[in-house]
Structure 1
Amino acid sequence: MATTSDEQAAGQHYLVCGIKDCQKNGQFYCNDCHQPMCEQCKDEHRKSPNNKNHDIVLYRQRKHRLPIEKCKLHPTKNVDIFCRECNTPLCLKCFLGKEHKGHEFDDLEEIYAEKYALWQGEFSKIQKYFLPTSEDLKTDIKEDVKEIKKIMESIRTSMKAEAESLKNLVDEVTSDKIKHTHTMEKSLLQMLKSQETTYNDYIKYLGKMSEKFQEYLSTTNQKLLSSKILKLKTIPETSKPFPPVFTPGQFNRDDVAKLLGILNIPNTEPEKRKIQPMEAVSTPMKFTEKQMEQSKEKSDMKPTLSLSSSVTKVREYSVPGVDNAYHVSVGKSGRLWVSDWENLVQTDLQGNLLQKIQTSGYREEGYHTATQDGGLIYIDIDEKVIYRITPDGKITEFIKTGDWRPISLHSSRINGDILVGMITDEEAKVIRYSKTGKEIQNMKRNNQGQELYEYPRYITENINGDICTSDHSKRAVVVVNKSGQHRFSYAGLGSEFRPFGICTDVLGHILVCDIVSETVHLLNQDGGFLSFILSEQQGIEHPQGVCVDDENNLHVTQCDTNTVTVYKYLQ
């Protein structure tokens, strides 16, 4: 594929018209001549009577050329015909031979194009559905690992708390029982003390009686005979106390285990992991084997979704509450968020004001992003805080970025991660946060240790997980893969390039505003320039922000007005 010297210097892939001496953008392709063409050369090509029936399509819809293969029977001839009866490829000499006389034939190039489209479609499914979905499931499993660890730690904490509570209860009951033994002991000792006093009194009584008897025994017989007989009191009776008996509690390990709660896995059917259904995947052609056998018509080879040959304005409206429309995010149900220096407003598709927030964005940056759940995340640059707005309108503080000043962010449509562009006076980086606000990736330097970013003013994510950043100071679109490894940088077409708003679409295109040429560049997934999708010809002046909604409409803001214009560019 040819490139100009300027484009080679910029390291860009550029589709150049294949007509001799023409260096314009070859956005069309002649399937019969197998060469790219610009729009002007395409029109000239069709004017020739020899070419009027040629199949000219957009470059991405081109048929891939049949690989050169020599005939086994006639080594000097190329194979380009397919015999249906013999189910074998042939060269022209085989076709004219008697062996295949009366057989039905097909153009081998047509079959090759169909097969190529079929396998390209399957390959596209792997890249755009099966791999990302599997990666999402792996991420889901990692989240489950974290959740299980968190739950088990919580259970262990609860068990320890339960055991501590039981210990405290045992200590409390034991203390009460010990107090009761002291009370019982005191009562018994008091009873025994009373009995001891009784016998002490009786012993004193016996002493007095002994003295009287001695006195009587020392008198004369006549006096002894005339005296009264003294009678002794009987010995007092007392009862021997019964000491209390302690009966040990009847319990075992299982009883204690029950007291401390039961740990088990609920007897329910495990919940299947949700696998997102495979939606229409962008492929050059969409065929099944059955369709290929039933029909060879070109109508069967229409792409599921592709670039339209022209861009059509769908609607345009002014956004109340902002002086200049710098950045736009499209949320659920078509609700728009548009910002200027210090105002962030939400409108419906008719431009009616629904909500307005005062911020300190104060710069022309992509400082807000709609989320998958219908909410919004936005930055207060002065406070160095990222806020979250829930679908019901509640605003909460989400992430604090410390010494780093956040300037741009994007909510992933793949897994809900949050990508944030940040700067200090000396450095810049992009941080990936989980949807719960935990930092999980730091992208700052490439493999050679060089700084990836200088001023990541706008940021987005492509369908393959690439992180695409519009770096105003580097004057380039910087793209890294989902692992943070630098893939490529797009610096325009050799002239001055000042990128601002950036977004991607369902086909993996990258759309970026250039405020110097006042155009919107359309790039492929690998950074190759495809076309100026919007320019002065479409009435665009000073394009600032871009966003593609769920219906594949392109929303464009212009910095010198509060106007949002919506275009249809896919079909």
Structure 2
Amino acid sequence: MESQGQKSDLSYPGKSDGEILDQSDPGKSDREHLDPLVAVKSNRGILEFQEEKINHERIDNGHLDTGISNHVKLNHSMSDPGKLGLEHTNGVDFQYTTMNSEFPVETEVDGLENGIAQKEEINCEACKKQSKMKVATKYCWQCSQYICDHCETMHGYFAALETHLLVNIEELRATRAPEADGAPVLPIEYCPKHPAKLIDMYCRNHDVVACSLCFLPHYKLCGDIHYVPDIAQETVDMVGVEKTQTDVRATTRNIDDVIAMCQTVISDLDSSKQVAMETIRDFRLYLKKVIDKIEQKTIHDVEARHKDLVNQVEAEITKALTLKVSAEERSLQLQIADGNKSRLLVSQTFGKHVVLDYESLIKQIKQTTAKTKIFYRNDSTITSFLNSLPGLGFIRDQKPKFAVVKSCEKYDVKLDGDENCIIWGSCIDGNGNIVLADNANNSLKLMDKMNYNIIAKCPLPASPRSLYRVNETEVAASLSNRTICFVQSDEELTIKRFVEVDHNCFGLALADGEMYISDGSQRVLVYTLDGKHVRTIERDQHDDVIFSESRDITTSDDGNRIHVADSRKGVVTLNKEGRLLWRYKGSEVKGAYGVCTDGSGNLLVTGILSHNVVMIGKNGEKGGEVVKPSDDVTSPVSVCFDRQNERVLVTRNGNYIYAFEFE
């Protein structure tokens, strides 16, 4: 056997440590046997080794250390146990025949691996790059390298390396040993940026956990960096873990609320977009042929702005969903009671960060969703400047504000043959035109939305009081003869039918096919559109009288609430079934009479005794004065909001209506 298959002297001591084979002439020296190809016997498939310029002077820790060159693969999955196949990676195949086909191949590589486990020596990685083999004695956390004593000395020569944390390898092994109770001390979570690295470093200054590669550029100057297994025992507090878990769970629930809020915002954006688009189309019909040249650009502007706003909100939803997944994972990790405090420290720290990320996210979402709707306003001067304008109007994101009056225009509504007018009610019809209830002249009047000129008049059998839009082509008016009059409103006003009731009719509103009629006193009565009585609203859930002098009525923008102006009790808000939700009686509004919505959930209320118009939030919040007594509109009766032109229209006893624009 020796004469035919001489083994290299470079194998590890003991047969189990592996064997270097060369199938060239057995008469050659060991040096010649190892050049140019070297392989280790194995039955485990293909192992990579090196070819050419090989330094075989030393084999350490069970490895054959070489100067790197082309790769060679050793194939042991051959049918002939007497041959070893060497597959060159550049496509050239080699085949060597063993001189002793009876040698137990599997014991050779097993011995090589066992040698590593038994000796457990680690080479200096810095020296290895210089083709030097020295036993490592230290580990640098920042460099993530094993280094020898010589390199440790060199480490201290450079100012940038002075703060690096060096650990004795034996101490490192000791920290990696299991705890006495059998629970593992090593972290089990891998770094998301460096998947091959465990999250095993903790900075107490920043309360951050990460892998050593993450710590190197960001925390190398920190003075309170620790290896997680070393610090976990004294840092992990189960009470704190439970609190973090509770916070993470709460964050998960809050994220659901945020997502729902964002989806509501998107729905509002869609609705406001639809309003803007309808306004654009209506304006185009008015301007006819001239408008064709610029219509498409304006539509594009609205679409682009809508898309941009929706994308912003959807981006926040995506962030929220991602954060929710993280929160759920953290919550699950914090529930596991396996005694692994290292894992708990990592999970707890990440849990805290999830909560902080949520707080940051909600601030960003509030900024994003502050722009909740798209508003489009027609330019009243567009007729004369149409050919030179880039668009049909103005697009903005924010809700209309009524802080400062920009202008107030008066428009005459008295026609030939009229007595002095008393306009008790007003509303906007489906075409955007304004319908007025002239109580003194027993008529309805139609005002053009563009120029605010009276274009139609409809005589009535009694004095009209309140108006409400039924649909796109019809309005309803309450009359002093205890009837409700339904009128078609197009370019003309045409009476369609009457509904009689057995009480006085003041305020009027419609919701879900039902009419809500105030009697001017302590009741609001509900009817079908055919006049069938459904119910009467007069007492709240505590059996207290709700109203005192019920006047005008309107519905919320979503149709789910009924708002009633009461001259003595302010503004009363009910749900559709008549349950009292809230009541507003601020000192700034006296003698509440007319009421409408602004399209953004707010209410505009006239104070017939305080000579003003005030704004109230959708949940009864004080909004301040929109029209002040100094604006010289004495005893305002009705109010409506022209959304197309963004004007507040106020009526009173007299021949004029007042149109307020705001900055």
TM-score category, normalised to shorter length: 0.3 to 0.5
Larger Rg over CA atoms? 1
Query: Larger relative contact order (C-alpha < 8 A, sep ≥ 6)?
Result: 1
